[in-house]
Amino acid sequence: MGTKGAVVGEPPPRSALVTGATGFVGSHLAKRLVRDGWSVHAVVRAACEFPESDEMARVHRYLCDGRVESVIDAVAAAKPDVVFHLASLFIAQHQAADVDRLVESNILFGSQLLEAMAQARVACLVNAGTSWQHFHGPDYDPVNLYAATKQAVTDIIRYYVDACGIRCITLKLFDTYGPDDRRRKLLSLLIQAARTGEPLALSPGEQVMDLIFVEDVVEAFLVASGMLLDGCEPAYQDFAVSGGQRVSLRELVKLCEEIMGARIPVNWGARAYRPREVMVPEWFADGLPGWRPRYSLREGLSRVLLPGAA
């Protein structure tokens, strides 16, 4: 007897396991997968606050306690067709006390996930990388320790690709933004400054930014998963995911002011550039085939800065 409500002859829904589903991009991806009819599973830590929504309520959750066994059990139970690996710890400038956390979150957990995939014979992985793996030019040159840990797990992925038959696409993302972003990032700080009138201390503002709207990022992950499920070759590929429009920080603030119709008080030069500041993002790989951003920078910013914008 078939499952109640199922259509006879209809294939079961695709199954996805998402790491980082409590984060900004990961939660948007999980919700999109649910809306598209996937069976969605998430590996989460006990300390993580799970976003509340109708879609997220339909995500199956598995607790990761730091042991590889818990990750192996989660992958075996989820039986995913595709794993989307977005979980990471981002720290722009680390302190000595951050080293253990960066290694545990970005290298150890990624290694545990890959071992779990190998044991469960799960073949398809879409991995989130970062443009900061390339400080100067297309060759590997990490901006910071965070980027170095992202490269480390990528190197570990290559072992599992060669030894265990896993196929992987790494999407190296430029700066992401969008609605419902709880991260303390530039746009939220600009909005706060505009509302309170408190001047925001920024760098001199000449660094160039490449921002990509979160819905475009999610679409890129789905396109990559389709390539893997279709059996794309070679078994490992890197692609750059860019918003397609670059502006300086000063130009970005001006554009935000135009959209909001409000002045944003900024103290330019009150903060020094970071060590190894990315002044112009490097283009380091081909773009993802079959994908391009749908939202212009103005359209995406309007959806963030203007409540209720379509």
pLDDT for residue 8 is more than 60: no
| SS3 sequence of the chain | CCCCCCCCCCCCCCEEEEECCCCHHHHHHHHHHHHCCCEEEEEEECCCCCCCCCCHHHCEEEEECCCHHHHHHHHHHHCCCEEEECCCCCCCCCCHHHHHHHHHHHHHHHHHHHHHHHHHCCCEEEEEEEHHHECCCCCCECCCHHHHHHHHHHHHHHHHHHHHCCEEEEEEECEEECCCCCCCCHHHHHHHHHHHCCCEEECCCCCEEEEEEHHHHHHHHHHHHHHHHCCCCCCEEEEEECCCCEEEHHHHHHHHHHHHCCCCCEEECCCCCCCCCCCCCCCCCCECCCCCCCCCHHHHHHHHHCCCCC
2 inside domain = no
Domain of 271, CATH number, reads 3.90.25.10
Name the band, by pLDDT with cuts 50, 70 and 90, for residue 1. Answer: very low
* Residue 150 and residue 49 in one domain: yes
> Each residue of 148-161: pLDDT tens digit?
999 999 999 999 99
Prediction pTM value: 0.93
* Residue 111 and residue 252 in one domain: no
Averaged confidence pLDDT in the chain = 93
* Residue 21 and residue 82 in one domain: yes
> Each residue of 164-176: pLDDT tens digit?
999 999 999 999 9
Q: In the chain, how many domains are there? A: 2
Residue 298's domain spans which residues? 186-209+245-280+294-305
233 inside domain = yes
60 inside domain = yes
pLDDT of residue 3: 39
Average pLDDT over residues 277-283: 93
> Each residue of 119-131: pLDDT tens digit?
999 999 999 999 9
* Residue 109 and residue 79 in one domain: yes
140 inside domain = yes
* Residue 68 and residue 137 in one domain: yes
Name the band, by pLDDT with cuts 50, 70 and 90, for residue 46. Answer: confident
* Residue 235 and residue 197 in one domain: no
pLDDT of residue 6: 47
* Residue 225 and residue 298 in one domain: no
> Each residue of 60-74: pLDDT tens digit?
999 999 999 999 999
